[in-house]
């Protein structure tokens, strides 16, 4: 199988090296130092006490990589609207697109959900460029339960977790999803196939939309956020608002918020991906993690005062550091 990895960062390397070693013909789309590293040497992944290596094709031009059987999108959310329109040369009539990204993806409600009919989300795809380039009929949804980091360009270190949940946006079983699950399992991933991929995405967001922005705003690791009674209480209010939204779009959450936070607390003093991005001066995924839930709540007529406040604070924080676009008409 020809597999194209869009974005050869931490999660891109986690997929790319393992799939190449499992026999796939892997190509990576990236640029800069990462592209140079993949062209000059093997892709490296530190996993389970050993360093795995694989040679892959790498380019900054989709046309050089050609049509793929499977395209795995591991980009950060703010980058996708810029990259998606250029991916046409990698996508043929039978290509399957597997986005594994944080937050709410562009396709999340394109087929509707719960009380909402088909609903494009302007917060994550403001001009519809992603949906035009990556049609929902080609998409299989994905949710990662794993962590990884980049040690150096072309060298990734696995952190924790080995899970991926995949499913059709329509919820209907299809042979292609079974084939992808088998491919990923053969490469050593723990794969679950679900008929409710939107619910799986919303459940992961339920935790990310609290810890990520609060950690970026405060610079604190998650243990400190949950050990403080005021910030801990704020996370519970945010989770209550997200639970109410999920119940209306066919993505219910049955777990107690306190139990989810207790699980997070047991992970210790770790930095969220958004805090790491803020410290590194990278664009923050506020639209996918905060703006999209707010937009969905607005479509449903639901008030989200705590989500509004956290999004406003995080947006001003990021704009002041050049990590989030200024709204039209704002001073530079």
Q: Which of 21, 204, 243, 282 is catalytic?
A: 204
Catalytic, 76? Answer: no
Record the tokens describing residue 274, joined without a space. 């958004």
Cα separation of the two ends of the chain = 47
Which pair of structure tokens corresponds to residue 2? Answer: 């020809």
Which tokens sit at 74?
């591991």
Distance of alpha carbon 24 from alpha carbon 43, whole angstroms = 14
| Residues present in the chain in total | 332
Provide the token pair at 227: 């050990």
Contact in structure between 225 and 310 (CB atoms under 8 Å):
no
Q: Which of 36, 45, 128 is nearest to 81 (CA)?
A: 128
Rg of the chain's alpha carbons, rounded to an integer? 19
Known catalytic residues?
204
């Amino acid at each position: 199988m020809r597999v194209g990895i869009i974005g050869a960062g931490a999660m891109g390397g986690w997929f790319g090296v393992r799939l190449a070693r499992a026999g796939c013909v892997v190509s990576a789309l990236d640029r800069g130092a990462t592209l140079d590293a993949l062209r000059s040497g093997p892709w490296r992944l530190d996993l389970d006490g050993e360093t795995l290596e694989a040679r892959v094709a790498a380019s900054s031009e989709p046309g050089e990589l050609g049509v793929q059987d499977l395209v795995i999108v591991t980009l950060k959310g703010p980058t996708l609207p810029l990259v998606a329109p250029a991916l046409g040369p990698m996508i043929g009539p039978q290509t399957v697109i597997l986005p594994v990204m944080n937050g709410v993806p562009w396709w999340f409600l394109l087929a509707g959900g719960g009380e909402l009919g088909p609903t494009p989300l302007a917060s994550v795809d403001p001009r519809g460029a992603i949906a035009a380039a990556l049609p929902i009929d080609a998409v299989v949804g994905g949710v990662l339960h794993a962590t990884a980091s980049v040690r150096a360009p072309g060298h990734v270190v696995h952190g924790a977790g080995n899970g991926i949940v995949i499913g059709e946006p329509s919820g209907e079983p299809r042979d292609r999803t079974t084939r992808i699950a088998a491919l990923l399992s053969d490469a050593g991933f723990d794969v679950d196939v679900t008929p409710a991929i939107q619910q799986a995405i919303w459940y992961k967001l339920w935790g990310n939309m609290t810890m990520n922005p609060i950690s970026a705003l405060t610079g604190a690791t998650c243990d400190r956020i949950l050990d403080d009674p005021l910030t801990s209480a704020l996370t519970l209010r945010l989770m209550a608002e997200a639970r109410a939204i999920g119940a209306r779009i066919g993505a219910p959450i049955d777990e107690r918020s306190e139990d989810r936070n207790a699980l997070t607390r047991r992970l210790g003093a770790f930095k969220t991906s958004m805090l790491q991005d803020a410290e590194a001066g990278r664009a923050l995924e506020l639209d996918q993690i905060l703006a999209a839930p707010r937009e969905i709540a607005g479509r449903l007529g639901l008030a989200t005062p705590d989500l509004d406040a956290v999004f406003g604070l995080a947006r001003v924080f990021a704009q002041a550091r050049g990590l989030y676009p200024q709204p039209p008409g704002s001073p530079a």
